[in-house]
Amino acid sequence: MKTTTKDEQIIFQNQSRLVMDWFNTCGICADILDINMVTDLQVIWITKGFSKELKERYDLMNKYLTDKYPQYKQQNT
């Protein structure tokens, strides 16, 4: 298991809460894997900054969420 600093723990907890709130706002009851996937992307954005590679990962995530959750597609069309 990777050792994390207190700052990294705080960032992860804050982003995890933001992601769960976002899913709830979109009317999605996401599973833990999806919450972690989106949280990980958010943490990367905060710790490493936004990049072309991260944008591509967000695009893949959006396609995945659109395919898995029909209500997400309705919100993003």
Mind listing the pLDDT tens digit for each residue in 16-35?
Answer: 999 999 999 988 999 999 99
The Cα-based distances of 53 to 4, 24, 64, 69 in angstroms read 24, 27, 17, 24
What is the pLDDT confidence band of residue 71, given thresholds at 50, 70 and 90? confident
Pure H helices in 1-77: 6-25, 32-48, 52-68, 70-75
Q: Is 18 within 8 Å of 42 (Cβ atoms)?
A: yes
Domain boundaries in the chain? 6-75
Whole-prediction pTM: 0.83
Locate 23 and state its tokens. 């899913």
